[in-house]
């Protein structure tokens, strides 16, 4: 039995989330369907990172097992089967005990605001035409790196055993008419990035002082966070693995 990691990207606008859910249209279900059609076997994959309904990914990974040989045009064939809003970017052979979720050492997300109406950003950002204090926003982002318990920024009804996360990057960047939040951590909780963004925006709008922001973090109470930012502004940008784990599969040309 061989284990493979596959690298994918997707526009999440039409999906009820990444992970397979009963009676729901999900990204992982489309990927499993494409793999099963090509390999003529039932394939059940495991994803590295779950994204919510409407959230996008520049890069995400899954793993699956098969004893069957891969088609020499595997990449082309899978992309032909997948819908237009999902793409297979790569396939890698890994040790049979490697897990796409647990082997990841960090994940990076972006959240994009755009400040002027732009129809081409509708499914890629949050239209936010309001006055905002960028210095306060940046200060709030820096404060986040001082903490490791993010209970406040986890939605309820989650099954995690710990709310401890190590954040290694937290910064806002101004890119033309876009304001982009970049955050990297070893793990993220359900709804965490959107909760961070929504709560920081309250700071940037002067509706929450820095003292109150710290108090919200330390309260470990999700009712003190603001999760009300739309999903389309959020992108999973990168999933990082230990060096040398991912060995690209080479195909002989037919």
Catalytic residue at 52? yes
> Do both 193 and 131 map to the same domain?
yes
> Do both 243 and 169 map to the same domain?
no
Per-residue model confidence (pLDDT) at position 28: 97
Per-residue model confidence (pLDDT) at position 252: 64
Per-residue model confidence (pLDDT) at position 23: 82
Is 118 inside a domain boundary?
no
Q: Which of 32, 41, 52, 226 is catalytic?
A: 52
* Sequence-ordered list of residues with C-beta below 8 angstroms from that of 61, at least 6 positions apart, any chain: 5, 6, 7, 8, 47, 48, 49, 100, 104, 239, 241
- 190, two tokens: 């359900």
The domain in which residue 47 lies consists of: 2-103+238-248
- 237, two tokens: 């940008």
- Write the DSSP symbol of residue 223: G
Per-residue pLDDT of the chain (254 residues; tens, 9 = 90+): 999 999 999 999 999 999 998 889 999 999 999 999 999 999 999 999 989 999 999 999 999 999 999 999 999 999 999 999 999 999 999 999 999 999 999 999 999 999 999 999 999 999 999 999 999 999 999 999 999 999 999 987 777 889 999 999 999 999 999 999 999 999 999 999 999 999 999 999 999 999 999 999 999 999 999 999 999 999 999 999 999 999 999 876 54
> Do both 145 and 96 map to the same domain?
no
Per-residue model confidence (pLDDT) at position 21: 87
> Do both 70 and 52 map to the same domain?
yes
Per-residue model confidence (pLDDT) at position 61: 98
Is 120 inside a domain boundary?
no
> Do both 54 and 136 map to the same domain?
no
> Do both 93 and 132 map to the same domain?
no
> Do both 155 and 209 map to the same domain?
yes
Question: How many Å apart are CA 210 and CA 143, to the nearest integer?
Answer: 9
Q: What is the total count of domains within the chain?
A: 2
CATH number of domain containing 82: 3.30.70.580
Is 119 inside a domain boundary?
no
CATH number of domain containing 161: 3.30.70.660
> Do both 95 and 140 map to the same domain?
no
Per-residue model confidence (pLDDT) at position 251: 79
Annotate 3-30 with b (16+ C-beta within 10 A) or e (fewer).
bbbbbbbbbbeebbbbbbeeeeebbbbb
């Amino acid at each position: 039995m061989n284990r493979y990691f596959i690298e994918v990207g997707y526009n999440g606008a039409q999906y009820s989330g990444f992970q397979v859910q009963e009676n729901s249209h999900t990204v992982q279900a489309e990927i499993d369907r494409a793999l099963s059609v090509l390999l003529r076997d039932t394939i059940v994959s495991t994803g590295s990172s779950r994204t919510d309904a409407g959230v996008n990914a520049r890069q995400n990974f899954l793993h699956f097992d098969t004893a069957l040989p891969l088609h020499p045009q595997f990449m082309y064939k899978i992309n032909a089967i997948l819908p237009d809003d999902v793409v297979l970017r790569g396939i890698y052979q890994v040790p049979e005990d490697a897990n796409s979720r647990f082997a990841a050492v960090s994940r990076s997300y972006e959240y994009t605001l755009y400040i002027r109406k732009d129809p081409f950003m509708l499914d890629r950002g949050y239209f936010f035409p309001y006055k905002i204090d960028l210095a306060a926003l940046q200060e709030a982002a820096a404060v986040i790196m001082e903490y490791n318990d993010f209970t406040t920024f986890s939605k309820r009804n989650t099954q995690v055993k710990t709310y401890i996360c190590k954040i290694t990057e937290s910064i806002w960047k101004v890119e033309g008419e876009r304001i982009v939040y970049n955050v990297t951590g070893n793990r993220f909780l359900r709804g965490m990035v959107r909760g961070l963004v929504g709560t920081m925006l309250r700071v940037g709008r002067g509706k929450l002082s820095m003292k109150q922001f710290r108090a919200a973090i330390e309260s470990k109470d999700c009712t003190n966070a603001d999760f009300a930012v739309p999903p389309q502004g959020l992108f999973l940008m990168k999933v990082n693995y230990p060096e040398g784990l991912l060995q690209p599969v080479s195909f002989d040309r037919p």
